[in-house]
Amino acid sequence: MLAYANPQRFLRLARALTPWTLGAGVALAAVGLFLALFVAPPDYQQGDAARIMYVHVPAAWMALFIYICMAVSSAVAFIWKHPLADVAAKASAPIGCVFTALALVTGMLWGQPMWGAWWVWDARLTSVLILFFLYLGYIVLWGAIDEPTRAARAARILALVGAINVPIIHFSVEWWSTLHQGATVFRAGGPAMSTSMLIPLLTMALAYNVLYVAFLLIRMRMEVSERRLRTIRLGLEAAPG
């Protein structure tokens, strides 16, 4: 992997992978949406409202997974000074932010018919809202500090400190009594869900993961180019005439 620390080599690989991951992500999402809307049965308690699960749960998983990726990249940037680690973390943030917003919005659209409230200040919902603000804060921080190495340092610290929130979100439904239901898939003893619902759910989750990779490659290419551009401009200013 360290070979891809070289931005030129990374760019070549990323350019080759972008169309394939994008195509695979869109195709998987199309299959997942078809399964979720046409093939999956309505829930015996919630009826067709349970179909919101197929866009809500994968978005919430991505919200957490992308934050973990961001925190790991930030740690790698600190420890090994890998030149692409900051790039990967910075490129991940807007993607994680969108998935978190989607988890919140689809959750509200599910909460209203099932709980009778768009929002409740319970542990799960509140901790995910904090995750959303962590993403926003991280994005703003990069833009707020002009000097790139100082911005990178501050962003790494925020990403790592904010990682405390990840286990809090996961275990919030066990530690506190919440309105939000507990884990159904990632639980001790395996998933407690019928296959007819699990397959559409996992297809959507796979689609979201592949789309994350595609968007990450696109945004990392963008970030590498912007850094290159900054270097070129600094070089022009330094050079006489």
For residue 62 the two structure tokens come to 């991505």
Contacts of 129 (CB under 8 A, 6+ apart): 104
Stretch that binds another protein, among 29-37, 77-85, 129-137, 165-173 (CB under 8 A): 29-37
Minimum distance between the CB of residue 99 and another protein, rounded to whole angstroms? 9
Q: Specify the residue, 46 or 153, whose C-beta has the smaller distance to another protein.
A: 46
For residue 129 the two structure tokens come to 């809202």
43 three-state secondary structure: strand
Restricting to residues 220-239, which ones interact with another protein according to CB under 8 A?
Answer: 221-222, 225-226, 228-229, 232-233
Contact status: 98 vs another protein (CB under 8 A)? yes
**Cα–Cα dist 235/232, whole Å:** 5
Cβ pair 110, 53 in contact under 8 A? yes
Following DSSP, what letter does each residue of 47-116 receive, concatenated? Answer: BGGGGGHHHHHHHHHHHHHHHHHHHHHHHHHHHH--HHHHHHHHHHHHHHHHHHHHHHHHHHHHHHHHHS
Minimum distance between the CB of residue 233 and another protein, rounded to whole angstroms? 8
Query: Using CB atoms within 10 A of its CB, is residue 144 exposed (0-12), middle (13-18) or buried (19+)?
Result: exposed
Instruction: State which of residues 101, 136, 141, 183 lies at the interface with another protein (CB under 8 A).
Output: 101
Instruction: State which of residues 17, 23, 41, 112 lies at the interface with another protein (CB under 8 A).
Output: 112
Instruction: State which of residues 21, 74, 106, 172 lies at the interface with another protein (CB under 8 A).
Output: 106
**Cα–Cα dist 42/177, whole Å:** 27
Q: Specify the residue, 30 or 164, whose C-beta has the smaller distance to another protein.
A: 30
Contact status: 109 vs another protein (CB under 8 A)? yes
Contact status: 120 vs another protein (CB under 8 A)? no
Contact status: 196 vs another protein (CB under 8 A)? no
Residue numbers at the binding site for another protein (CB under 8 A): 22, 29, 33, 37, 42, 47-49, 51-52, 55-56, 59, 94-95, 98, 101-102, 105-106, 109-110, 112-113, 211, 214-215, 218-219, 221-222, 225-226, 228-229, 232-233
